[in-house]
Amino acid sequence: MAKSIFLQSDNRKMHAGWLLLLLLCFIVQPFDSFANTSESRGIPSAAVLNPAAELWRDVRQREQLTNGTSQVKGVDSGVLINAYGDQWRKFRMQQLIPVGGYLLLGIVIGLALFYLIRGKVAIEGGESDKKLLRYTSYEQLIHWFIASIFLFLAISGLIILFGRPVLIPIMGKEAFSVIASACKEGHNLMGPLFLVALILIFIKFVRRNIYQKGDLSWLLRGGGIIGKKHVPSNFFNMGEKTMFWMLVLVGSVIIASGFVLIFPVFGLGREWMELAHVGHAIGAILVIGVIIGHIYIGTIGMEGAIEGMKTGYCDLNWAKEHHDLWATKAEQQGEVISNDKVSRLRDVSSAQSLGGHVQEE
């Protein structure tokens, strides 16, 4: 009897031992497999990693972008997470906005310092009693058409791009959200009109903006700023021609990228839209910087520069000082008229417009 009890006790101990050994195998095996997997990937076996790290590394596509399978049909429907979006966001916030802002601010400060040093460029011989027809009514119309559209797009675009860091501290988030939303909608609506205006400007003024002999000398002398010698120029000088071609070429990039952003129906992925946003913003900043200089010359920078687009006529002395080749040719062809005749022509034109309006009413 005692021997039977002893054998049963030994059996129980043996079973308990095998059970403990089996349990240890289940516990040790996962760690052994994890260590082998880590060593095969070049990870030290002593390192303790998150088991889900490999899963999320594949999800976020750190190494390469891959397309999955989805029942939803679309350009990016097979992409779970677009890692390039974070790169675009960082570039926009950390480089595009600060650098673009400093560039525009530097242009404004530079023009202000230039004005304080040089002052307004006056007509050396003073205003004369004679004028030249510089722009027709149609040329004035399309100029102010594209100018008004560009100013609206520039202001609304700058608010969208720089509004958060600049305007939110001033007016708060709620007021800024209303203004930013209105700017976005207005920007999208007015954008296509810029294409129409640019085409009209190109067709009308391209012939006068072909580079000619003598334009390079104008550029090398800084338009007359460098040195005291007079720099000859045609109807448009080198600076105006360069601005025209920059407006046409860079403006075309702005328009094309804008259409991609407004109408995302061209079968393009998010990478193309991010690239379009960057090109749109950089091109717009460059053109805005040039137009700031153009506005400066036409307002406080140069005497008589704006008269051609305001009245259609320019002073003869101003034309000889800044566009002498064109002025000399026009004078030889008998296109010079007196101020009194210009006033009479404008009065007649106003009376005809008013009379036509009265008859229509």
How far, in Å, CA of 173 to CA of 120, rounded? 41
Residue 249, pLDDT score:
96
In angstroms, the CA 356 to CA 70 distance is 66
- Choose between 347 and 157: higher pLDDT: 157
The confidence score (pLDDT) of residue 146 equals 96
Ordered DSSP codes for 186-216: HHHHHHHHHHHHHHHHHHHHTGGGS--TTHH
Q: What is the pTM of this model?
A: 0.76
Residues in a beta bridge with 313 = 133
- Of 6 and 183, which is predicted with more confidence? 183
Please check the confidence at residue 170 and state whether its pLDDT lies above 60.
Answer: yes
Q: What is the pLDDT of residues 14-59, one digit of tens each?
A: 555 555 555 555 444 444 444 444 444 454 544 556 766 766 666 6
> What would the two tokens of residue 75 be?
């350009």
For a pLDDT cut of 90, what percent of the chain falls above it?
48
Write the pLDDT tens digit of every residue in 118-160.
888 888 888 888 999 999 999 999 999 999 999 999 999 999 9
Tens digit of each residue's pLDDT (9 = 90 or more) over 79-111: 666 777 778 888 899 999 999 999 999 999 999
Please tell me the predicted confidence (pLDDT) of residue 212: 85
List alpha helices for 128-269, DSSP H: 137-205, 215-220, 238-262
Residue 69, token pair as written in the block: 């399978």
Residue 313: enclosing H or E segment and its boundaries? Answer: strand 313-315
157, 100 Cβ separation under 8 angstroms: no
Task: Tell me which architecture the domain covering 128-354 has in CATH.
Answer: Up-down Bundle (1.20)
Among 145, 178, 141, residue whose Cα is nearest residue 159: 178
CA 116 from chain center: how many Å? 30
Please tell me the predicted confidence (pLDDT) of residue 22: 53
**pLDDT tens by residue, 239-264:** 899 999 999 999 999 999 999 888 86
Q: What pLDDT is recorded for position 342?
A: 81
Say if CB 81 and CB 60 are below 8 A apart. yes
Distant-in-sequence, close-in-space partners of 355: CB < 8 Å, separation ≥ 6: none
| Residue indicated by tokens 């709620």 | 174
What confidence score (pLDDT) does residue 178 get? 95
